[in-house]
Amino acid sequence: MKLFNSLTRQIEEVVPRQPGKIGMYTCGPTVYSTPTIGNFRTYVLSDVLARALKFVGYDVTSVMNLTDVGHLTGDNEGDANQGEDRLEKAAKKEGKTAWEISAAYSSEFMRHMEMLHITRPNVVCKATDHIAEQIALVQKLETKGFAYRIGDGIYFDTRAYERMGHRYGELSNLDEMKKGARLEPNPEKRDPRDFALWKFSPEGVRRQMEWDSPWGVGFPGWHIECSAMSMKYLGEQFDIHVGGEDLRSTHHPNEIAQAEGATGKEPFVKTWVHGAFLLVDGGRMGKSLGNAYTVQDVVGKGYDPLALRYFYLTGHYRKQLNFTWEALAGAAAALARLRAAYQAASSSQGDRTQLSEEKLSKVSEYTEAFAAELADDLNMPAALAVVWEVAKSNIPNYDKVDLLDDFDRVLGLGLGDRVEGIGDREIPVEIKQLMAKRQELRAAKNYAEADKIRDEIVAKGYAVNDEAV
Ligand code: AMP
Ligand code: ZN
């Protein structure tokens, strides 16, 4: 399997640290609002990568964090350890506690993961469950002389780190680093690149989320959780780290500095994989622009969430992908055709005993072609083209079904799922509207009404499968 490694800026063969085994970590969401279809482009990338690695024979252990302690709104731009805490802000707005906010949005995130057929990572870990590990990591950095205290917290000392022969910021490019430095707001820091490891609760203010530490009451800096939890579950060094491209310039270099500074072992992670962003109507998506669509919006318009998954697969992960409702409709139609081809083949499989050398070699050619596209820097658009070749080919139906089942281990489109009403026939608008209504009621936790609608849908001859619909 070859992947583009942001660290070396080259397409490289993935060479696992332990033969046959891959440990991979994905930076999860901050659970203060509903994740967008932009966020899910990155999580589907991580899912497809894990599935592809399994397909080519690796034993994969995947870990994803949930950032449930509020980092600050400026955190992702350079190193502004400034701004308002996102969770507490959402809590104020919604009249809930920060803990209720994180619980509600975490479970919504996991529900949307399932709707998109994203395999649950082996470990899903919360920052607030790992405060002790984060404190221990900061202590380690302190012992090594890579941490110092200023008025509002304990900071990572990038100059001390470089003096010890480490390289800081290898993942970012110079322009991004300069941009970070321009945003420098804290004159107490020794270097603009330094970042918070532990922040103190402001004098006289009780935060909803705060913990005792050797340095006083406060909360962890945003970056430390990923270093602490990835090393806890995958070891001090592991194979692959995944995230959106916005994490390449600050969050990930900081993760590396914290881990390598504490352990003295390089590289912390061998292969860094960054996914390009999803655009909407050719531009940036954002809440203020009104185009930060969610999986719920997709379902609300009557689409199967797996049409969104199919849409993601049509773009290479290192290229921006432009979402429009027309493009989603196109993906939904393609998925329906693929399902129809699968089901047609599956309903008349014929005699499995009719084997010939020629057919066998054709089947293995297709499998090799599919695997080769996966191995070529996860070229999913090209892999999909192989899928379509198979769907349209005249190989025996049972081979077609076997191949498509096999490919679907990576695609995750549920081609073999027997969801009545999808694939077999077009879903009437009336049923789509009922499904959307039911989703809305469920989102509002009005389960009694939602169940009534479910009964209505079933009475009209359609099955409701919450994973797939
Ligand atoms: P956040 O909750 O902001 O930390 O984002 C969670 C993940 O989604 C990160 O890996 C981001 O890089 C990724 N992400 C955010 N916006 C987009 C987008 N428009 N397209 C793809 N990935 C995104
Ligand atoms: Zn992270």
* pLDDT score of 432: 76
Examine the fold and report which residue of 275, 298, 329 is the final residue of a domain before the chain moves on: 275
Instruction: Tell me, yes or no, whether 135 and 270 share the same domain.
Output: yes
Q: How far is the CA of 401 from the centre of ligand 2 (A)?
A: 39
Judge if the beta carbon of residue 30 lies within 6 A of ligand 1.
Answer: yes
Closest ligand 1 atom, residue 41 Cα: 21
Q: Output the residue whose Cα is nearest ligand 1's atom 1.
A: 29
List the domain range (segments joined by +) for residue 379.
287-411
Q: How far is the CA of 240 from the centre of ligand 1 (A)?
A: 18
Instruction: Tell me, yes or no, whether 142 and 256 share the same domain.
Output: yes
Q: Kind of pairing, strands 321-323 and 278-280?
A: parallel
Instruction: Tell me, yes or no, whether 346 and 197 share the same domain.
Output: no
Judge if the beta carbon of residue 246 lies within 6 A of ligand 1.
Answer: yes
In sequence order, what are the beta bridge partners of 243? 274
Per-residue confidence in pLDDT tens, the chain, 469 aa: 999 999 999 999 999 999 999 999 999 999 999 999 999 999 999 999 999 999 999 999 999 999 998 766 544 443 444 557 888 888 888 888 888 989 999 999 999 999 999 999 999 999 999 999 999 999 999 999 999 999 999 999 999 999 999 999 988 865 555 555 555 568 899 999 999 999 999 888 788 889 999 999 999 998 999 999 999 999 999 999 999 999 999 999 999 999 999 999 999 999 999 999 999 999 999 888 889 999 999 999 999 999 999 999 999 999 999 999 999 999 999 999 999 999 999 988 776 666 667 677 888 999 999 999 999 999 999 999 999 999 999 898 989 999 999 999 999 999 987 544 444 456 677 777 788 788 888 888 888 888 888 878 777 667 676 654 3
Pull the structure tokens for residue 424. Answer: 């077999």
Instruction: Tell me, yes or no, whether 147 and 238 share the same domain.
Output: yes
Instruction: Tell me, yes or no, whether 198 and 120 share the same domain.
Output: yes
Judge if the beta carbon of residue 419 lies within 6 A of ligand 1.
Answer: no
Work out how many domains the chain is built from and give that number.
3
Closest ligand 1 atom, residue 30 Cα: 2
Q: Output the residue whose Cα is nearest ligand 1's atom 23.
A: 39
Judge if the beta carbon of residue 243 lies within 6 A of ligand 1.
Answer: yes
Examine the fold and report which residue of 366, 391, 411 is the final residue of a domain before the chain moves on: 411
Q: Looking at the domain assignment, is residue 330 inside a domain?
A: yes
Pull the structure tokens for residue 456. Answer: 């209505």
What is the CATH number for 360?
Answer: 1.10.730.10
Instruction: Tell me, yes or no, whether 73 and 137 share the same domain.
Output: yes
Q: Output the residue whose Cα is nearest ligand 1's atom 8.
A: 39
What is the CATH number for 166?
Answer: 3.40.50.620
Q: Looking at the domain assignment, is residue 382 inside a domain?
A: yes
* pLDDT score of 450: 87
Q: How many CB atoms lie within 10 A of CB 203?
A: 7
* pLDDT score of 265: 97
Q: Looking at the domain assignment, is residue 12 inside a domain?
A: no
Burial of 417 (0-12, 13-18, 19+ CB in 10 A): middle
* pLDDT score of 420: 46
Judge if the beta carbon of residue 41 lies within 6 A of ligand 1.
Answer: yes
Judge if the beta carbon of residue 218 lies within 6 A of ligand 1.
Answer: no
Q: Please check whether residue 331 is in contact with residue 311, taking contact to mean a CB–CB distance below 8 angstroms.
A: yes
* pLDDT score of 435: 81
Question: Pick from 437, 423, 452: which is nearest to 347 by CA?
Answer: 423
Closest ligand 1 atom, residue 26 Cα: 10
Please report, for residues 28, 32, 37, 350, the alpha-carbon distance to residue 106 in angstroms, rounded to integers and kept in the order given.
10, 8, 16, 46
Instruction: Tell me, yes or no, whether 176 and 211 share the same domain.
Output: yes
* pLDDT score of 12: 98
* pLDDT score of 416: 84
- The pTM (predicted TM-score) of the whole model is 0.87
Phi, psi of 334 (to 5 degrees): -65, -45
Judge if the beta carbon of residue 285 lies within 6 A of ligand 1.
Answer: yes
What secondary structure, in 3-state letters, does the chain show?
CEEEECCCCEEEECCCCECCEEEEEECCCECCCCCCHHHHHHHHHHHHHHHHHHHCCCEEEEEEEEECCCCECCCCCCCCCCCCEHHHHHHHHHCCCHHHHHHHHHHHHHHHHHHCCCCCCCEEEEHHHHHHHHHHHHHHHHHCCCEEEECCEEEECHHHHHHCCCCCCCCCCHHHHHHHHHCCCCCCCCCCCCCEEEEECCCCCCCCCCECCCCCCEEECCCHHHHHHHHHHHCCCEEEEEEEHHHCCCHHHHHHHHHHHHHCCCCCEEEEEEECCEEECCECCCHHHCCCCCHHHHHHCCCCHHHHHHHHHCCCCCCCEEECHHHHHHHHHHHHHHHHHHHHHHHCCCCCCCCCHHHHHHHHHHHHHHHHHHHECCCHHHHHHHHHHHHHCCCCHHHHHHHHHHHHHHHCCCCCCCCCCCCCCCCCHHHHHHHHHHHHHHHCCCHHHHHHHHHHHHHCCCCCCCCCC
Judge if the beta carbon of residue 292 lies within 6 A of ligand 1.
Answer: no
Pull the structure tokens for residue 119. Answer: 């395999």
Q: How far is the CA of 318 from the centre of ligand 1 (A)?
A: 14
